[in-house]
Amino acid sequence: MKKIIFSLVICSALFICGCKKSSSNPSFTPDCTGAAKSFSKDVNPIFATICAGCHANFGSYSQIAADKSAIRSRIIDGTMPQNGSLSDAQKNNIVCWIDSGAPNN
């Protein structure tokens, strides 16, 4: 029985690792020159159209702001979104908004 459980755990781990999106643009560097980014105008529309399909928990400012560090990391390393991509402008909007303190504006 222990061998079966061990085998299932190993197979599950391999399956999960095999499904992870590889970085599509590991050298992305945000360009935060220009106007400050707004949550309601620049960031929330991206989450509503691209992220909410997989991340239902990203439906409000507080939910997005609470996970801002992980969001920033995954956008920079290119592992999110897994089922699509963001333009450089969309990446800049999100990352620059986070870097400016993630204001609720």
Residue 37: inside a domain, yes or no? Answer: yes
Residues 6 or more apart whose CB falls under 8 angstroms from that of 23 comprise 77, 78, 79
Residue 62: inside a domain, yes or no? Answer: yes
First vs last Cα of the chain: how many Å apart?
56
Tell me the C-alpha distance between 18 and 48, whole Å. Answer: 27
Residue 104: inside a domain, yes or no? Answer: no
> Omega of the bond prior to 81 within 30 degrees of 0, cis?
yes
Range of the domain at 86: 2-99
Residue 43: inside a domain, yes or no? Answer: yes
Q: What digits encode the pLDDT tens for the residues 11-32?
A: 344 444 444 444 444 568 999 9
Residue 105: inside a domain, yes or no? Answer: no
Q: What digits encode the pLDDT tens for the residues 82-100?
A: 888 999 999 999 999 999 9
Whether the predicted pLDDT of 40 surpasses 80: yes
Residue 18: inside a domain, yes or no? Answer: yes
| Inter-residue contact 71 to 94 (CB < 8 Å) | yes
Task: Please choose, from the candidates 49, 55, 53, the residue with its C-alpha nearest in 3D space to the C-alpha of residue 71.
Answer: 55
Give the pLDDT band (50/70/90) at residue 3. low
Structural domain count, the chain: 1
Q: What digits encode the pLDDT tens for the residues 51-74?
A: 988 998 888 999 999 999 999 999
Q: What is the pTM of this model?
A: 0.74
